[in-house]
Amino acid sequence: MKSTVFRVALLRAALCSVAIFSASEVLAEGKGAPLAKRAPEAAAKSQPSATMDGVQIAMLIKSTVIALQHANQTGNYSVLRDLGTPLFRERFDQVKLSAIFSGLRGRGVNLSPILVLSPTLTKQPELTDQRQLRLVGNFPTQPLQIKYELVYQQIDGVWRVDGVSVEAVAVQTTEAGRAGGTPSLAAQTPAPVKPVASVKSGKKPVQRQY
């Protein structure tokens, strides 16, 4: 009888030891290994892809400008806002976006012609220290030239809008243009562009429409 009780006690002690050891393994794994595995995954999500080609960049630019065109046309800025990063959506509600782009909307500027044109980059695509992609350029539209400065942040593999600047300025007729056609837009010296800290509607040029 005593032998049986002793064996049961030993068995219980052994089971307790296994349980404590298993728990310590789980605790150690929770503090170490999973964190080491999650870090590269998180880094991969936060780092923008470096494999974008010209077609992808053009699609990104056009989709944003057309989203703005639809917003100006309908007065509904919800889709443009939803394309943004969480910080963009936090800073700019529909009312604020409507006010910001009231200039373009009030002048009746039509951004739709950019659908059949290729965007020109007046500055090389820039990836900032904050891992933001900055694209600056224009579309060769006339009589108003559409200029843009767009900032994106990649979240979970998707480029989200983090800053928008679109303006329509009168194309300057130069002696060179009259003598030998319109100079290459890519060869023109771009005007200095201020850093995009917020959404901007741009300048108010001559009141002309497409």
* Confidence label for 94 from pLDDT (cuts 50, 70 and 90): very high
d(CA 206, CA 94): 27
| Residue 175 confidence (pLDDT) | 40
Q: For the chain, list the strands marked E by DSSP.
A: 120-121, 126-127, 132-139, 144-155, 158-170
pLDDT at 162: 97
pLDDT-derived band at 156, boundaries 50, 70, 90 = very high
pLDDT over threshold 80, residue 145: yes
Tell me what pLDDT residue 52 has. 77
- Distance from C-alpha of 201 to C-alpha of 68, rounded to nearest angstrom: 11
152 exposed, middle or buried (CB, 10 Å; 0-12, 13-18, 19+)?
buried
Q: Is 136 helix (H, G, I), strand (E, B) or coil?
A: strand
DSSP-derived 3-state class of residue 142: coil
- Residue 126 backbone dihedrals phi, psi, to 5 degrees: -120, 130
From residue 198, give the alpha-carbon distance in Å to each of 8, 72, 75, 150, 194: 73, 18, 20, 11, 11
pLDDT tens per residue across span 107-128 = 999 999 999 999 999 999 999 8
Alpha-carbon span 207 to 144, nearest angstrom: 10
Second CATH level (architecture) for the domain 54-187: Roll (3.10)
* pLDDT of 147 above 60: yes
Domain definitions of the chain by residue range: 2-46, 54-187
What type of residue is 14?
A: A
d(CA 105, CA 73): 7
pLDDT(172) > 90: no
Mean pLDDT value across the chain: 71
| Per-residue pLDDT tens over the stretch 50-86 | 567 899 999 999 999 999 999 999 999 999 999 999 9
User: Can you tell me the distance from the alpha carbon of 91 to that of 8, in angstroms, rounded to the nearest whole number?
Assistant: 67
Task: Give 49's pLDDT tier (boundaries 50, 70, 90).
Answer: low
pTM to 2 decimal places: 0.61
pLDDT tens, residue by residue, 174-208 = 444 444 433 333 333 333 333 333 444 444 333 33
